[in-house]
């Protein structure tokens, strides 16, 4: 079942005239990506790495279109140098980041990037809004979009693992490991 915040956020993106949705998938974004792929007025642009999206959306803005960049928190690290493009040229950049490495994370390899996502975005000159309650996601995205496109500015919404639920790994078989 699709979480209620997903169609709300999608409508918010449409209300802000988003025309390109660039993304690297995350489980927490899957339903949103499906909505983007199904919308004739929107072009879904899957990326091979997240930093491509920063440049794709800068190009889109040069051509008169607004976009949004969707990624998991691990992808934020991939974006850092390209964020200089948004900052130096003041391109609008709206990022929706689903968090890993937080609340109940069962993969310790996600924790290092997840624990510094907000800090590195802010160091790179990005405004960051964190949201930890499902019924606040849409209004936060709307506020972020308003600031991104009127600034123009780079703005990220971090959608917390308390909204998404930690990845369960329910079917996994854990093999032995030395301790």
Partner 1 sequence: MSDTPIDEGRADHYPLARRAVVAALLADAGGLLVVTGLGAPAWDATAAGDRDLTFPLWGAMGGAVSMGLGLALARPENRVLVLTGDGELLMGLGSLSTVGHQQPANLAVVVLDNERYGETGGQRTHTARHTDLAAVAAACGWPSTWTVRDHAAAAELPSRLWDAAGPRLAVVKVAAANEPLVMPPRDGVWLKERFRRALLDQP
Q: Is residue 143 within the footprint of partner 1 (CB under 8 A)?
A: no
- Which helix (H) or strand (E) is 87 found in, with range? helix 83-89
Stretch binding partner 1 (CB under 8 A), from 31-39, 78-86, 118-126, 142-150: 78-86
Stretch binding partner 1 (CB under 8 A), from 2-10, 63-71, 132-140, 141-149: 63-71
* Beta carbons of 139 and 6 less than 8 angstroms apart: no
Among 3, 14, 31, 43, binds partner 1 (CB under 8 A): 43
Please count the other Cβ atoms lying within 10 Å of the Cβ belonging to residue 119: 10
Q: Is residue 63 within the footprint of partner 1 (CB under 8 A)?
A: yes
Among 27, 30, 38, 89, binds partner 1 (CB under 8 A): 89
Q: Is residue 56 within the footprint of partner 1 (CB under 8 A)?
A: yes
Minimum CB distance to partner 1, residue 122 (Å): 20
Token pair in block for residue 125: 């000159």
Among 2, 4, 37, 81, binds partner 1 (CB under 8 A): 81
- Measured distance between the N- and C-terminal CA atoms of the chain, rounded to whole angstroms: 39
Q: Is the peptide bond before 63 cis (omega within 30 degrees of 0)?
A: no
Nearer residue to partner 1 within complex by CB, 22 or 99? 22
Helix, strand, coil fractions of the chain, as percent rounded to 5: 50, 20, 30
CA–CA dist 148, 126 (Å, integer): 10
Q: Which residues contact partner 1 by CB under 8 A?
A: 19-20, 22, 43, 45-49, 51-65, 67, 81-82, 84-85, 88-91
């Amino acid at each position: 079942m699709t979480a209620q915040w997903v169609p709300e956020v999608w409508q918010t993106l449409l209300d802000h005239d988003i025309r390109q949705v660039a993304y690297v998938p995350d489980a927490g974004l899957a339903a949103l990506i499906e909505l983007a792929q199904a919308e004739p007025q929107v072009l879904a642009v899957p990326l091979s790495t997240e930093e491509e999206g920063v440049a794709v959306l800068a190009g889109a803005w040069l051509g008169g279109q607004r976009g949004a960049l969707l990624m998991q928190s691990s992808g934020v690290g991939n974006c850092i140098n390209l964020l200089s493009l948004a900052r130096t040229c003041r391109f609008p950049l709206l990022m929706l980041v689903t968090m890993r490495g937080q609340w109940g994370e069962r993969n310790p390899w996600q924790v290092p990037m997840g624990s510094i996502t907000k800090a590195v975005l802010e160091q790179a000159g990005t405004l960051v809004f964190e949201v930890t309650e499902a019924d606040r996601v849409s209004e936060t995205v709307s506020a972020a979009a308003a600031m991104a496109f009127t600034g123009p500015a780079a703005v990220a919404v971090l959608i917390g693992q308390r909204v998404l639920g930690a990845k369960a790994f329910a079917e996994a078989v854990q093999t032995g490991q030395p301790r």
